[in-house]
Chain A
Amino acid sequence: DAGITQSPRHKVTETGTPVTLRCHQTENHRYMYWYRQDPGHGLRLIHYSYGVKDTDKGEVSDGYSVSRSKTEDFLLTLESATSSQTSVYFCASNLGGGETQYFGPGTRLLVL
């Protein structure tokens, strides 16, 4: 299995507070992704990165920002959490474009 970790694994927070999720990979993969998974929607792309400091939006990027200052770390920030952002968040990475994605174990976020 690829070495991808996420932290925290579980978080409960209140509406209006900022939240940062971290993804760390040890595979030297160029591409990294943040997805959210909700019942009935499958995995939806929030943001992705194609290199250090190079990021782009996915289909559900509103309310989220990302940063990638090192190859191995990709941070997802909810600037002001809302209840609609309660979800399971998965990070993924892959070496080259179009190649197999490997996923982290997920972060379960509950916004009250």
Chain B
Amino acid sequence: RKEVEQDPGPFNVPEGATVAFNCTYSNSASQSFFWYRQDCRKEPKLLMSVYSSGNEDGRFTAQLNRASQYISLLIRDSKLSDSATYLCVVNDGTSGTYKYIFGTGTRLKVLA
């Protein structure tokens, strides 16, 4: 089992749609969780951190379920500019190390 797993997609959705991505992680000791956005041939950029109580930033909502070891990202009212690959990132969780484990990403295409 991969340490961090994501559905690779692509998810093709019309403008204005709501789309959700899930990500599962294997290390129950992980403490930090993030969603990054990566555009084609560009570096990953932080979209949002994921907090235990869940958090929202405009049209984006992130949730964490520690019991089931998954995090989710909800995008409402999709825009063409949301087309990108979304990376789930989890810290290693092992005491004394500061490694981050990346999922392979979920591709989103928002269609006009």
State A61–B32 Cα separation when bound (angstroms): 24
Report whether B100 and A101 are in contact in the complex, using a CB–CB cutoff of 8 Å: yes
Given contacts A40-B104, A58-B99, A98-B31, contact A90 B43 (CB under 8 A): yes
In the complex, chain B residues whose CB is within 8 Å of the CB of A35: 102
What interface size band does chain A fall in? 20 to 34
A67-112 residues at the B interface, CB under 8 angstroms: 90, 94, 97-106
Report whether B32 and A42 are in contact in the complex, using a CB–CB cutoff of 8 Å: no
Most chain A beta carbons < 10 A, residue from B43, B103, B105 = B43
A1, A44, A90: the one contacting B44 at CB < 8 Å is: A90
B91 at the interface (CB under 8 A from A): yes
Given contacts A42-B87, A42-B103, A42-B105, contact A97 B98 (CB under 8 A): yes
Closest partner residue, chain B, to A4 (CB atom)? B43
Question: Which A positions have Cβ atoms within 8 angstroms of B?
Answer: 1, 31, 33, 35, 40-45, 48, 50, 56, 58, 90, 94, 97-106
Sorted from nearest, which 5 A-B pairs have the closest CB atoms? Answer: A42-B104, A97-B98, A103-B43, A98-B32, A43-B102
